[in-house]
């Protein structure tokens, strides 16, 4: 923690001293502060003049106070030392580990940007490690003759957060919690980083995307017979109809025929919120960094699609997530299906919409590996937030999550957790 706070203080001090140079906006870029809310793909509007190579250093910080309780009805499962492995850990109110991101963006040429994000501290790793990095081309100044095409096209190459669905634009990414009106992400969290490239076409509200990646979170040349590329795409429409009404509707598809470890629903290596819920007393914080989420375990092959409607009418926002994933895990001979439904309602108030209230209903259902009985997880989140400034957000959330129809030998049998959380967020 001393190392984290020292790095954080040095970074903030350095950024403040050189604010005029290092906190300027960039071309074709999504701000990390409040301005990035409800921004999806980076815009094609060329609003920033390129005046030479420019480095922008930014950061994100988040800290939660958690007061949750949990329970289950699973049958006892004693280990050799008499410890019940289906007995839940004793948890109470307290602060979670502070998380921090380091955001580096570099304008290398006119319309060419490099992005690198480092997790300085996360639930999974208290030490610094890189999330990924990519090159984004909104112009090709070194290839004459492509200017007209690049007015509507964006290219991205590297190890990046894949653009499957729209929920990943609204989720919390370790300490970057500014875009999320809630504290927790969806139960089935479609987020991962993969090595590859994508092309995006945007014109008069219409959107089309196609991408090819390695299909796994880590690059490797081993076991080529167990791996194949992943393909994903998106089509949609996003238009500001008038001063009051914005409509967006997209459909996305992701598929890979074989993989040694696909992580479409398990690629968040930083960790979830809702610390230590639904795990036993022998489980460490680091090994249980996904608590509150559910990974269907479709590691070997997966085809998943999602429909995302978004409507903003005045101060009211509605976001939907209708998702189906089909695939299999290691050793499975037949595919399993999982469905997810998510509905978000957000109402923003005040002259500058600095205050908001929000509600979310989220449910997932499907077959676990080796089971013929469908299980279901339901969650309700009620929250509110207040922006002290464009860079500072304070949130409150009540969460109630239930696990239905899990086998009595499963620690999640009859499981539930609920309670309140507070979160402070800084991002610039």
CATH number for the domain harbouring residue 128: 2.40.160.10
Mean pLDDT of 351-377: 95
Mean pLDDT of 371-385: 96
**Confidence at residue 126, expressed as pLDDT on a 0 to 100 scale:** 72
The answer to whether residues 193 and 218 touch, using CB atoms and an 8 Å cutoff, is no
Give the chain's mean pLDDT. 93
**pLDDT above 70 as % of the chain:** 95
**Confidence at residue 21, expressed as pLDDT on a 0 to 100 scale:** 54
The pLDDT confidence band at residue 330, using thresholds 50, 70 and 90, is confident
Using CB atoms within 10 Å of the CB of residue 47, give its burial: 0 to 12 exposed, 13 to 18 middle, 19+ buried. exposed
pTM for the model: 0.92
The pLDDT confidence band at residue 79, using thresholds 50, 70 and 90, is very high
Window from 199-213, 257-271, 414-428 with minimum mean pLDDT: 257-271
Q: How many domains does the chain have?
A: 1
Give DSSP secondary structure letters for 308-347: EEEEEETTEEEEEEEEEEEEE-TT-SS-EEEEEEEEEEEE
Q: Which residues contact 314 (CB under 8 A, 6 or more apart)?
A: 244
The pLDDT confidence band at residue 6, using thresholds 50, 70 and 90, is very low
Give DSSP secondary structure letters for 75-113: PP-B-TTS-BTTSBPP--SEEPPPEEEEEEEEEEETTEE
Whether the per-residue pLDDT at 24 is higher than 80: the answer is yes
**Confidence at residue 17, expressed as pLDDT on a 0 to 100 scale:** 46
The answer to whether residues 208 and 199 touch, using CB atoms and an 8 Å cutoff, is no
Q: Can you read off the two tokens belonging to residue 294? A: 């559910």
- Backbone phi and psi for residue 251, each to the nearest 5 degrees, phi listed first: -130, 135
Phi/psi zone of residue 164: left (φ > 0), alpha (ψ -120 to 50 degrees), beta? beta
What is the rounded distance in angstroms from the CA atom of residue 297 to the CA atom of residue 289?
A: 16
Q: Which is more confidently placed, 285 or 86?
A: 86
pLDDT tens, position by position, 195-212:
999 999 999 999 999 999
Whether the per-residue pLDDT at 111 is higher than 60: the answer is yes
The pLDDT confidence band at residue 331, using thresholds 50, 70 and 90, is confident
What is the rounded distance in angstroms from the CA atom of residue 216 to the CA atom of residue 227?
A: 9
**Confidence at residue 47, expressed as pLDDT on a 0 to 100 scale:** 85
User: C-alpha angle 346/350/352, rounded to 5°?
Assistant: 95
The β-bridge partners of 62 are: 99, 425
User: Which range of residues forms the domain containing residue 223?
Assistant: 2-427
């Amino acid at each position: 923690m001393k190392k984290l706070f020292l790095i954080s203080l040095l970074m903030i001090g350095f950024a403040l001293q050189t604010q005029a140079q290092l906190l300027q906006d960039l071309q074709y870029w999504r701000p990390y502060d409040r301005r990035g809310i409800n921004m999806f793909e980076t815009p094609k509007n060329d609003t920033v003049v390129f005046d030479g190579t420019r480095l922008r250093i930014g950061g994100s910080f988040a800290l939660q106070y958690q007061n949750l309780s949990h329970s289950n009805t699973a049958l006892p499962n004693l280990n050799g030392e008499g410890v019940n492995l289906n007995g839940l850990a004793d948890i109470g109110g307290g602060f979670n580990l502070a998380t921090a991101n380091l955001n580096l963006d570099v304008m290398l040429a006119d319309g060419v940007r490099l992005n690198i994000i480092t997790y300085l501290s996360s639930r999974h790793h208290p030490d610094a490690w890189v999330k990924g990095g990519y090159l984004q081309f909104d112009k090709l100044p070194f290839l004459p003759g492509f200017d007209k095409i690049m007015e509507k096209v964006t290219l991205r190459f590297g190890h990046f957060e894949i653009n499957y669905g729209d929920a990943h634009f609204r989720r919390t990414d370790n300490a970057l919690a500014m875009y999320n009106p809630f504290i927790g992400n969806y139960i089935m969290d479609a987020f991962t980083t993969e090595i590859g490239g994508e092309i995006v076409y945007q014109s008069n509200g219409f959107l089309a995307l196609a991408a090819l990646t390695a299909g796994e979170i880590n690059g490797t040349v081993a076991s080529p017979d167990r791996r194949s590329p992943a393909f994903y795409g998106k089509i949609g429409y996003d238009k500001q109809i008038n001063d009051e009404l914005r409509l967006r509707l997209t459909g996305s598809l992701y598929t890979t025929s074989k993989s040694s470890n696909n992580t479409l629903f398990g690629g968040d290596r930083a960790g979830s919120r809702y610390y230590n819920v639904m795990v036993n007393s022998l489980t460490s914080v680091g090994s249980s960094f996904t608590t509150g989420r559910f990974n269907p375990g479709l590691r070997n092959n997966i085809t998943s699609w999602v429909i995302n409607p978004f409507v903003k009418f005045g101060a009211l926002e509605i976001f939907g997530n209708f998702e189906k994933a089909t695939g299999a895990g290691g050793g499975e001979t037949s595919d399993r299906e999982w469905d997810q439904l998510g509905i978000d309602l957000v109402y923003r108030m005040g002259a500058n919409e600095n205050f908001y209230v929000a509600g979310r209903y989220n449910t997932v259902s499907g077959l676990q590996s080796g089971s013929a009985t469908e299980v279901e997880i339901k969650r309700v989140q009620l929250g509110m937030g207040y922006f002290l400034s464009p860079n500072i957000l304070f949130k409150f959330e009540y969460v109630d999550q239930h696990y239905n129809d899990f086998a009595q030998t499963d620690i999640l049998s009859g499981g539930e957790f609920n309670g309140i959380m507070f979160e402070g967020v800084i991002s610039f």
